[in-house]
């Protein structure tokens, strides 16, 4: 190997290492970003999540929140969930967040969707992991602090393809 080739490879390796360290630092800081509910996502029970997010306010079921989820699924790693909330989306009254929880997962809080009046409608779609038969909860919160909870939908895992037993 010539000295010139060695220097090029060394410079390239140094650049890649530096770039990787910068990306890693940005990812590490994301968990500590202002407003990121790290404690809620790390919680190991639904009660902990509800305490962190809503200070255990009473959640009453509302027919405003509509959830479509397969009642029996054969792929526990990819359960489709579709949510829509029948609520105004005006500048002064709108759904600000939609929470999806899977009760019997090790970390029940699956996701938080942020909405604004620009969405036009409060709705979301995702695929979640459901490790065991479990209720799936969806909670919508307005910008005014009003909370609307869907009736928990039970998901029955027919076979846990790829999931831990």
pLDDT above 70 for 105: yes
pLDDT above 90 for 67: yes
Give the integer Cα–Cα distance in Å for 134 and 71. Answer: 10
Give the integer Cα–Cα distance in Å for 127 and 134. Answer: 15
Q: What angle do CA 140, 146, 149 make, to 5 degrees?
A: 40
Q: How far is CA 128 from CA 69, 79, 104, 163, in A?
A: 10, 5, 13, 12
38 pLDDT tier (thresholds 50, 70, 90): confident
Sequence spans of domains, the chain: 1-30, 38-157
Q: What is the pLDDT of residue 160?
A: 47
77 pLDDT tier (thresholds 50, 70, 90): confident
25 pLDDT tier (thresholds 50, 70, 90): very low
pLDDT in tens, 123-163: 999 999 998 899 999 999 999 999 999 999 999 988 644 54
- Domain 38-157 fold is Immunoglobulin-like (2.60.40)
* Cβ-proximal residues to 20 (8 Å cutoff; 6+ apart), any chain: none
β-bridge mates for residue 93, sequence order: 90
């Amino acid at each position: 190997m010539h000295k010139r080739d060695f220097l090029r490879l060394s410079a390239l390796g140094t650049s890649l290492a530096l770039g990787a360290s910068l990306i890693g630092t940005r990812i590490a800081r994301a968990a500590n970003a202002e407003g990121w509910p790290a404690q809620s996502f790390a919680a190991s029970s639904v009660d902990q999540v509800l305490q962190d997010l809503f200070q255990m306010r009473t959640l009453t079921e509302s027919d405003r929140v509509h959830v479509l989820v397969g009642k029996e699924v054969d792929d526990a790693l990819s359960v489709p969930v579709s949510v829509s909330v029948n609520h105004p989306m005006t500048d002064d009254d709108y759904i600000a967040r939609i929470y999806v929880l899977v009760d019997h997962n090790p970390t029940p809080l699956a996701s938080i969707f942020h909405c604004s009046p620009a969405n036009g409608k409060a709705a979301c779609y995702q695929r979640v992991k459901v490790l065991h038969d479990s209720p799936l909860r969806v909670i919508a919160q307005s910008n005014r602090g009003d909370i609307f909870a869907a009736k928990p939908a039970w998901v029955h895992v027919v076979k846990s393809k790829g999931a831990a037993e």
